[in-house]
Amino acid sequence: MVERLWAGWRIPSMVEDQQAAVAGIADSSGTAAGGETGLSLFEAILQAGLPDEQTHIVHRGERVFAILNRYPYSTGHVLVLPYRAVADLEDLDPDERRELWDAVHRAVVAVKAAFSPDGVNVGANLGEGAGPSVYDHVHIHVLPRWRSDTNFMTAIADVRVLPQSLQDCWERLTAAWPP
């Protein structure tokens, strides 16, 4: 598994992980705390009542929202998903499906405006066999990519260097999110 090397702000992030666990959002592994509630990780985040700045929710629509990936592949990695926890794309109702793909489009626009990447990956891992860490709540990944983001650290040390904090990413993406 690829490790992540976070820049000098890691200590405040660890404190946030502990606070989130206490608030019932997630533990440091990214799994829902108090899984006996029957909520998906993302439903637990939504129902925690915390401000978007703390949960890193970038956008709230009528049926879907976008949130920064807490364990990103690259700086600015966004997840777009419905409020309702469904495991499969085909379980979305037509309105959720339309809004989901509209929000994915807006996420790509925001990522390009906020980070000026060389490219953008958009994708989904559907079903437990596809390898997602959260497979009970369908989500679409939108992540900026740069020609230099796969370097010797990833190839040799199995580590990603993330040069920007989640808070900085959240500020840039919320400012760049199109109306």
Tell me the C-alpha distance between 87 and 139, whole Å: 9
What is the C-alpha to C-alpha distance for residues 104 and 143, in angstroms, rounded to an integer?
11
The reply to whether 59 belongs to the active site is: no
Q: Closest Cα partner for 134 from 74, 68, 86?
A: 86
The span from the CA of 170 to the CA of 34, in Å, is: 26
Q: Which of 77, 137, 139, 141 is catalytic?
A: 139
What are phi and psi for residue 7, nearest 5 degrees?
-70, -170
Tokens (6 digits) for 159: 């580590």
- 14/63 Cα distance (integer angstroms): 31
Which residues are known to be catalytic?
Answer: 139
